[in-house]
Structure 1
Amino acid sequence: MSVSDPLPAPATGRFIAAEHHFPLRVYFEDTDLSGLVYHANYLRYMERARSDMLRIAGIDQRGNLEGGEGVYAVTDLQLQYRRPARLDDDLMVVSRVTKVGAASCSIHQRVMRGEELLTEGDVSVAFLTPQGRPRRQPKPWIDIFSRLMRGEDIRP
């Protein structure tokens, strides 16, 4: 790599059909004393995957937050742990939109090790004003979520 070569960018995952695939690796800091991934870290993995899914789908959360329009907040979360992940495992978080409303969205996520399902969950979010009141999410965002929910491919 020469000095003029661009530095690598962080992984953002990619859409395969209407599902977002986000790769990650389990590091020592992710594990507990038993050597297994600490249960709360699955939530972090899923959050990273959702954030990058929205970003590459064209949803500018930061711009809306800085512009005073609003922000998403988790309103419901259900997780099922099936199998543990361990140090150095290569994982994939697969996310798909399952429901969209005027001020909300639901996303189903699976944490996979190869073909093996480790953890899955359903996350519902609401779009809130900076004061914390529900508000309609931007129409272009509803359109993006609707396309994903119908299984349409989203290419950046």
Structure 2
Amino acid sequence: MDDVPPPFVPGAFAGAAHHYRLRVYFEDTDLSGIVYHANYLRYMERARSDMLRLAGIDQRAAMEAGEGAWAVTDLAIKYLRPAKLDDDLHVVSHVEAVRGASVVIAQRILRSHGALSDDLLTEGRVTAAFLSPEGRPRRQPAGWADRFTAVMNGETIPC
């Protein structure tokens, strides 16, 4: 039937890398048609959230159970080239380090050219700590560090 939308397609893992695609819309740009600098952080956040969801890390359940939530504690970003209106972008994320209460994720944003090579636009590195409801660092919920380590090693994640 034509009125049934196709299923939502999230990002995907390929080995140790999580891939997330998106398109630049008018709302993402400034008056010159260049992506506003803060939107690169939003793109990276969407990709990280998708990666966690696919890895079986249920952030919402942890918050609702009163266990805590993730908070960015360190962020470095380097802008190399601008993204523009209607560009197809590709966010590639890699888990670099897993600690008891934190995780470090490196991310790159590329402009896709189909089968041709991609242009590297932005590189970033984020450290996120798991915080208690009172805002203090605490160990990640049981099993999450194992899932992050599996992602880092390119292993298949059972959900």
- Pair 1:122-2:116 in alignment: no
Report how many aligned residue pairs link the two structures. 154
Tell me how far apart the structure 1 counterparts of residues 48 and 121 of structure 2 sit (CA, whole Å). 17
Query: 2:152 — aligned with what?
Result: 149
Q: Which amino acid aligns with 1:55?
A: R
Query: 1:86 — aligned with what?
Result: 84
Q: Percent identity over the alignment?
A: 63
The SS at the match of 1:42 is helix
The SS at the match of 1:40 is helix
The SS at the match of 2:139 is coil
Give the gaps of 5 or more residues in structure 2: 113-117
Tell me how far apart the structure 2 counterparts of residues 118 and 103 of structure 1 sit (CA, whole Å). 30
Q: Which amino acid aligns with 1:74?
A: V
1:154, distance to aligned residue in structure 2 (A): 3.4
Contact 2:93 2:108 in 1 (8 A): yes
The SS at the match of 1:139 is coil
Q: Which amino acid aligns with 2:85?
A: L
Q: Which amino acid aligns with 1:141?
A: W
Query: 1:135 — aligned with what?
Result: 138
Contact 2:55 2:151 in 1 (8 A): no
Contact 1:11 1:23 in 2 (8 A): no
1:11, distance to aligned residue in structure 2 (A): 4.0
Q: Structure 2 length as normaliser, TM-score? A: 0.91
1:151, distance to aligned residue in structure 2 (A): 2.8
Contact 1:23 1:90 in 2 (8 A): yes
Query: Per-residue CA shift, 1:36-77, capped at 9, x if unaligned?
Result: 000000000000000010001100000000110110000000
